[in-house]
Amino acid sequence: MKVALGQFAVSRDWQENSATCTRLMAEAQTEGADLLVLPEGILARDIADPDLVLKAAQPLDGPFLTAVCAASRGNALTTMMTVHVPAGDGKALNVLVAIRNGEIIARYDKLHLYDAFAVQESRNVTPGNQVPPLVEVAGMKVGLMTCYDVRFPEQARRLALDGAEVLVLPAAWVKGPLKEKHWEVLVTARALENTCYVVAVGECGPRNIGNSMVVDPMGVAIASAAEAPALVFATLEATRIAQVREVLPVLQNRRFARPELN
């Protein structure tokens, strides 16, 4: 599977962000990518207005995703991102969507809300209540996670036990002391402890670190971006997963039951 990591700084204007998405989709398709992963919360963002995620939220059939879906028609590229969708309770859901050939083929509502480091995501967002689905892309099974989820190993382990060979992680990882280190350690740990690939894509810009990366099942970073907008590619090999799982059979050797959602 050839993956593309589309790292960019989200603006407060959804039309501008839609145009950025469609441009990255076209570039990824030109390069023969099977999967394009974009950051978290890409409908609208403003560092001076944290409530914009709620004020700018759109339904799944709203103009933002309608435009992105239209741009995906006629090709096999799968694109994944998260957007904020009205929840009907005065808040929004942080929804990871997978889009292919003009349709939303899967969705995952973020389970773990970022109420940490003096940020309170739950002020504007309602948590999901279902384990993410797996999405098949280019013959590989892809599990869905979003940003803060990476700090909860139970979710990654559950997806791996459900059959995930790749974990996708759109993120908007906030800058701060040691935060880049946290990101690198956590993404690497989730890949190594589950012997799977992790494709982690972070928003860049004034608030967030960027630092998108792909880590292989042995914990090796095989592609990465810095702090600026970038489109990075990597190739994921099913044979690499099989090789690592043969010499490091942690999923077989585990003694704990499969994690379940409370």
Question: 81-112 pLDDT, tens per residue?
Answer: 999 999 999 999 999 999 999 999 999 999 99
Report the pLDDT value the prediction gives residue 50, as an integer from 0 to 100.
Answer: 87
Of the chain, the percentage scoring pLDDT greater than 90 comes to 98
Confidence (pTM) = 0.98
Helices (H), 170-237: 179-194
Residue 184 annotated in active site: no
From 21, 69, 147, 204, the catalytic residue: 147
Residue 147 annotated in active site: yes
Task: Say whether domain 2-253 belongs to CATH 3.60.110.10.
Answer: yes
Q: Are 83 and 69 in contact (CB under 8 A)?
A: no
User: Within its chain, how far is the Cα of 91 from the centroid?
Assistant: 21
The single residue listed with the structure tokens 């059979």 is: 249
Q: Are 56 and 14 in contact (CB under 8 A)?
A: yes
From 21, 69, 110, 165, the catalytic residue: 110
Which amino acid is present at 116? A
Residue 141 annotated in active site: no
Query: Mean pLDDT in the chain?
Result: 97
Question: 196-227 pLDDT, tens per residue?
Answer: 999 999 999 999 999 999 999 999 999 999 99
Question: 138-188 pLDDT, tens per residue?
Answer: 999 999 999 999 999 999 999 999 999 999 999 999 999 999 999 999 999
User: 257: Cβ–Cβ under 8 A, 6 or more apart, which residues?
Assistant: none
Q: Which residues does residue 109 pair with via DSSP β-bridges, in sequence order?
A: 95
Q: Which residues does residue 116 pair with via DSSP β-bridges, in sequence order?
A: 119
Report the pLDDT value the prediction gives residue 47, as an integer from 0 to 100.
Answer: 87
